[in-house]
Amino acid sequence: MSYMTLQRKALIDVLEQHRDEPLSADRIITLIGENASRSAVYRNLSALEKQGLIKKTAASGSNKTLYRYVGSDECRDHLHLECSACGKTYHLKVPATNALINDVMQDANFQIDSSSTVLYGICEKCRKS
Ligand SMILES: [Zn+2]
Ligand SMILES: [Zn+2]
């Protein structure tokens, strides 16, 4: 495997392991470990974003860019919830939402991109604390 391919694979592995949590570029570099090349991480992040495999999001209360991986096949079929307090992502697996998406698509003749559709709110853990 070429160096760039290895760098990209390491990046995707990290993103897949942290699908519930948007990550900053710095955090990604730390998670990849000593083999991470900062410039390769940034280059790959922008390539993956162009391919629609990751979405950028802003950390609440700061202007730091975070990256959320939406590239797995299953993420194309459901909506996502994001906690505005802790940033955690929830993969919504409620059958009713699929019915809602289908209804909207038929009614409005609108193609919904489920993997990038996020409903914002506060998660259970953050409401309790
Ligand atoms: Zn998902
Ligand atoms: Zn939360």
pLDDT digits (tens, 9 = 90+) for 8-51: 999 999 998 998 888 999 999 999 998 899 999 999 999 999 98
* Rounded Cα distance, 7 and 34, in Å: 12
In angstroms, what is the span from residue 21 Cα to ligand 2's centroid? 10
* Rounded Cα distance, 57 and 63, in Å: 9
pTM as predicted: 0.72
- The SS3 assignment for 103 reads helix
Beta partners for 126? none
Which residues, other chains included, contact 30 with Cβ-Cβ below 8 Å and sequence gap of 6+? 36
Q: Are 119 and 80 in contact (CB under 8 A)?
A: yes
Specify the pLDDT at position 3: 82
Q: What are the structural domains of the chain?
A: 3-128 (1.10.10.10)
In angstroms, what is the span from residue 79 Cα to ligand 1's centroid? 7
In angstroms, what is the span from residue 67 Cα to ligand 1's centroid? 14
In angstroms, what is the span from residue 125 Cα to ligand 2's centroid? 6
Residues 95-100, mean pLDDT to the nearest whole number: 84
In angstroms, what is the span from residue 3 Cα to ligand 2's centroid? 37
> Which one, of 90, 96, 91, 94, lies nearest residue 125 by Cα?
90
